[in-house]
Amino acid sequence: MHEALTAPLAPPAAETLARFWDAQQQLLADRLAMAVPHGARVALLDYPVHGNTGDHLILLGTERWAAQAQLEIVGRWHVDNVPWRSLPSDTILLCQGGGNFGDLYRFQAFRERLISARPRQRIVLLPQTIHFRSPERLRRSAEVFSRHPDLHLFVRDHGSLEIAREWFGGCRPTLAPDMAAFLFPIADTLGCRLPPRPRYEMLRFFRRDRERTAVTPSGAGRVVDWDDLDPWGTPYWLGAVAAGYLCGRVIPADYASRTWFEFCRNRCRRAAVALADHRRIVTNRMHCHILACLLGVPNVVHDNSYGKCSAYFRAWHAELPFTRLSV
Domain boundary among 181, 196, 228: 181
Based on the domain organization, do 157 and 209 belong to the same domain?
A: no
Based on the domain organization, do 34 and 77 belong to the same domain?
A: yes
Q: What percent of the chain has pLDDT over 90?
A: 77
Based on the domain organization, do 215 and 195 belong to the same domain?
A: yes
The secondary structure of residue 313, as a DSSP letter, is I
Residue 12 has pLDDT above 90, yes or no: yes
Q: How far is Cα 108 from Cα 127, in angstroms, rounded to an integer?
A: 14
Based on the domain organization, do 158 and 269 belong to the same domain?
A: no
Query: Which domain, by its residues, includes 88?
Result: 14-181
Domain with residue 66: its CATH number is: 3.40.50
Based on the domain organization, do 197 and 276 belong to the same domain?
A: yes
At 251, the pLDDT band (50, 70, 90 cuts) reads confident
Based on the domain organization, do 198 and 120 belong to the same domain?
A: no
Give the three-state DSSP class for 28: helix
Task: Give the number of other CB atoms < 10 A from CB of residue 15.
Answer: 8
Per-residue pLDDT reduced to its tens digit, 34-55: 999 999 999 999 999 888 999 9
Structural domains counted in the chain: 2
The secondary structure of residue 195, as a DSSP letter, is P
Q: How far is Cα 62 from Cα 43, in angstroms, rounded to an integer?
A: 12
pTM of the model: 0.93
Based on the domain organization, do 194 and 272 belong to the same domain?
A: yes
At 1, the pLDDT band (50, 70, 90 cuts) reads very low
Based on the domain organization, do 155 and 281 belong to the same domain?
A: no
Domain boundary among 151, 181, 211: 181
Based on the domain organization, do 177 and 188 belong to the same domain?
A: no
Residue 212 has pLDDT above 90, yes or no: no
- Residue 44's beta-bridge partner residues? 76, 94
Residues 102, 257, 25, 212, CA torsion sign: negative
What does pLDDT average to over the chain?
91
Domain boundary among 164, 181, 198: 181
**What's the pLDDT at 195?**
96
Q: How far is Cα 176 from Cα 179, in angstroms, rounded to an integer?
A: 9
Residue 24 has pLDDT above 50, yes or no: yes
Q: How far is Cα 11 from Cα 276, in angstroms, rounded to an integer?
A: 11
Q: At 208, which amino acid appears?
A: R
Q: For the residues 117-122, what does the mean pLDDT come to?
A: 97
DSSP strand pairing (278-283 vs 223-224): unpaired
Residues 6+ apart with CB under 8 A from 243: none
At 255, the pLDDT band (50, 70, 90 cuts) reads confident
**What's the pLDDT at 211?**
81
Task: Give the number of other CB atoms < 10 A from CB of residue 55.
Answer: 22
Q: Roughly what angle, to the nearest 10 degrees, separates helices 53-68 and 14-33?
A: 70
Per-residue pLDDT reduced to its tens digit, 144-163: 999 999 999 999 999 999 99
Based on the domain organization, do 104 and 167 belong to the same domain?
A: yes
